[in-house]
């Protein structure tokens, strides 16, 4: 039986602050599957370095600065990432977890983090329960590994997760390990699956779980989490239903399209203004269920979509991102606990959404992150108890 993790006062105090968590992609090291599908030595960097601008002012390729073209098999790389993130007020990483009916893929970086005890950076897991496809879209065409489900797999899956949940670094929400599912609506029987997970975690001494579904697709948005057995949702960004009109329908590109002189790239890709995506996210009506906000420093997956079909947010800047994050943190700070804000992502280089320093912006996105957290925590700092020299942690 797995030993339960002590639920101390320190974790309780942390629940009162907004915690900022960044999604983390582990696809920066060779694996046999990618060698077979894409060629010997393939990693995400292969897509990154071959990207090219599609139109005037299009920022491509995104090339790393401080950390270079790293290999996640190296503990020194993982330590440097954690040090950089912690120095800029990121409270933890949410590692993507690839599980295909008992088969793990891209698991080495997290497995070594778990087994070695280093780095000390807090972490959680998000199950990327999509088909693995040649188009990197989780769809049903050109499937490389199919995502399948069964009750027996639910039981095996939770057993495999228990050592991570028991780790002292694992992120807990009100004492419960945080676990996210990317496409909860694709589970054949979500309530059966989540009940199995909760029951087996409790029997192992872990206790209950804090389960979040991702609200980023039309079939997921608006579905109450509790109807699927989840506790809350994460407002995934970019949400294709809330990005505003593509630029090809706006002036002057709309006029160019009607005259037949619009560049093909505007017709074969969806290109949106970053500022409008921010407005759409902040204008999202309050849901009848708990939704934790999410922000992106940018988005551009054209590095993965050479034949078209890319989603691109143009005119993203550290200042615009920082203002969006500040407002998201401010809003979440005023809500009941638990208080979580997510950033998509720490290192999604081939999707153009990364906080890690690049050669264009350096550390300015990280500095904007730190400034936003400082501003939010200053505004919602606990009052000083004048009868004592200590801070009073009051309210919820």
Q: Is the pLDDT of residue 8 over 80?
A: no
- Average pLDDT over every residue of 215-220: 80
Closest CA to 339 of 292, 380, 282, 283: 292
pTM strictly above 0.85 = yes
pLDDT of residue 251: 58
In the predicted structure, residue 5 carries a pLDDT above the cut 50: no
Q: Is residue 384 part of a domain?
A: no
Does residue 326 lie in a domain region?
yes
Residue 395 lies in a domain: no
| pLDDT higher at 12 or 311 | 311
* Domain containing residue 138: CATH number: 3.20.20.80
Structural domain includes residue 25: yes
Q: Look-up: residue for tokens 């697709």?
A: 217
**Residue at 393 is within a domain:** no
Residue 213: give the domain boundaries: 9-379
Q: Looking at the 3D structure of the chain, how many domains does it have?
A: 1
pLDDT digits (tens, 9 = 90+) for 113-134: 999 999 999 999 999 999 887 6
> Which one-letter DSSP state was computed for residue 145?
E
Determine the Cα–Cα distance for residues 151 and 282; give it in Å rounded to an integer: 39
Neighbours of 300 (CB within 10 A): 25
Residue 329 CA: distances (Å) to CA of 20, 128, 155, 225, 340: 8, 25, 36, 22, 8
Indicate the SS3 state at residue 127: strand
Q: Is the pLDDT of residue 239 over 80?
A: no
Determine what percent of the chain is predicted with pLDDT higher than 70.
84
Average pLDDT over residues 356-372: 98
pLDDT for the residue numbered 135: 58
**Confidence grade of residue 388 (pLDDT, cut at 50, 70, 90):** very low
- For residue 56, tell me if it sits in a domain: yes
**Which pLDDT score is estimated for 262?**
53
Determine phi and psi for 56, rounding to 5 degrees: -60, 130
**Is residue 1 in some structural domain?**
no
- Tell me which residue of 70, 90, 84 sits closest to 26, measured CA to CA: 70
The DSSP-derived string for 364-394 is HHHHHHHHHHHHHHHHTPPPB-TTSSSBP--
pLDDT-derived band of residue 261, with 50, 70 and 90 as boundaries?
Answer: very low
| Amino acid 248: pLDDT | 57
pLDDT value, residue 256: 53
Please tell me the distance from the alpha carbon of residue 96 to that of residue 217, in angstroms, as a whole number.
18
- Choose the weakest-confidence range: 185-199, 255-269, 302-316, 364-378: 255-269
For residue 181, being part of any structural domain is answered with yes
């Amino acid at each position: 039986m797995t030993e339960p993790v002590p639920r101390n006062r320190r974790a309780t105090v942390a629940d009162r602050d907004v915690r900022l968590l960044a999604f983390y992609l582990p696809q920066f090291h060779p694996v046999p599957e990618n060698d077979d599908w894409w060629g010997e030595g393939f990693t995400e960097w292969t897509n990154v370095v071959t990207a090219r601008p599609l139109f005037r002012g299009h920022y491509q390729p995104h090339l790393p600065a401080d950390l270079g073209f790293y290999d996640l098999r190296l503990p020194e790389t993982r330590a440097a990432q954690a040090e950089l993130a912690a120095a800029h007020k990121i409270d933890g990483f949410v590692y993507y977890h690839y599980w295909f009916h008992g088969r793990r893929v891209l698991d080495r970086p997290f497995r070594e983090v778990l087994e070695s005890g280093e780095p000390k950076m807090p972490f959680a897991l998000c199950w990327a329960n999509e088909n693995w496809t040649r188009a990197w879209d989780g769809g049903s065409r050109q499937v490389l590994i199919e995502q399948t489900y069964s009750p027996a797999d639910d039981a095996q899956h939770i057993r495999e997760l228990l050592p991570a949940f028991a780790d002292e670094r694992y992120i807990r929400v009100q004492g419960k390990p945080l676990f996210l599912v990317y496409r909860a609506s694709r589970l054949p029987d979500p309530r059966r699956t989540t009940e199995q997970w909760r029951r087996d975690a409790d029997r192992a001494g872990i206790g209950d779980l804090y389960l979040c579904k991702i609200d980023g697709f039309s079939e997921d948005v608006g579905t109450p989490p509790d109807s699927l057995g989840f506790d809350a949702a994460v407002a995934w960004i970019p949400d294709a239903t809330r990005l505003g009109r593509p630029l090809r329908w706006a002036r002057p590109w709309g006029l160019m399209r009607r005259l037949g002189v619009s560049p093909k790239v505007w017709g074969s890709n969806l290109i949106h203004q970053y500022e409008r995506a921010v407005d759409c996210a902040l204008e999202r009506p309050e849901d009848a269920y708990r939704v934790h906000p999410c922000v992106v420093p940018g988005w551009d997956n054209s590095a993965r979509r050479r034949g078209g079909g890319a989603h691109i947010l143009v005119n993203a800047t550290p200042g615009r991102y920082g203002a969006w994050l500040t407002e998201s943190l401010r809003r979440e700070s005023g809500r009941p606990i638990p208080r979580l804000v997510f950033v998509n992502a720490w290192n999604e280089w081939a999707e153009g959404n990364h906080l890690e320093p690049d050669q264009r912006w350096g550390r300015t996105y990280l500095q904007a992150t730190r400034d936003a957290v400082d501003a939010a925590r200053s505004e919602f700092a606990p009052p000083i108890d004048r009868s004592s020299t200590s801070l009073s942690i009051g309210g919820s």
